[in-house]
């Protein structure tokens, strides 16, 4: 869901560059595999220590809430547009984003701009 509001800010320059690469990869047609643990997007994050996130419990809570609201399951593979449509319609447009991840340190960015998937 973070990719909906990503504007090039992040935990480090390496992380933001990797987020941009992942966004481009997905928008060019790569499928997503849904997970609630450290994944490819997390691989360049400075909070990732040998595959363990320093905020693992909080991130797991966010991920599980997104999956539940969208009716998706961990391990499920789907086309990126299918995933973004579910997030946009079931979370962002219904105002549930703040309930799910409003305590995130990057929340201000998400509050200040529209989702890149809004039509």
Q: What crossing angle do the helices spanning 80-87 and 56-70 adopt, rounded to 10°?
A: 90
CA dist., res. 41 & res. 21, Å (int):
9
Q: What local confidence, expressed as pLDDT, does residue 90 receive? A: 98
Q: In this predicted model, what pLDDT tens digit does every residue of 2-32 receive, in sequence order?
A: 999 999 988 899 999 999 999 999 999 999 9
Name the phi and psi angles at 110, rounded to 5. Answer: -70, -30
* Domain regions of the chain by residue span: 7-112
H or E element: which one contains 52? strand 52-53
Rounded to an integer, what distance in angstroms lies between the CA atom of residue 53 and that of residue 59? 8
> Average pLDDT of the chain?
94
Q: Under a CB-based contact definition with an 8 Å cutoff, are residues 113 and 5 in contact?
A: yes
Full-model pTM: 0.92
């Amino acid at each position: 869901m973070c990719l909906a509001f990503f504007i090039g800010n992040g935990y480090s320059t390496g992380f933001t560059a990797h987020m941009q690469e992942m966004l481009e990869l997905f928008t060019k047609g790569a499928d997503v595999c849904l997970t609630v643990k450290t994944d490819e997007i997390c691989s360049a994050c400075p909070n990732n220590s040998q595959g363990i996130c320093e905020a693992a419990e909080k991130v797991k809570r966010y991920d599980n809430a997104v999956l539940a609201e969208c009716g998706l399951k961990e391990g499920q593979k789907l086309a990126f547009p299918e995933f973004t449509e579910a997030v946009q319609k079931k979370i962002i447009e219904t105002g549930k984003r703040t309930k799910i991840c409003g305590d995130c340190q990057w929340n201000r960015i998400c509050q200040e701009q529209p989702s890149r998937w809004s039509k």
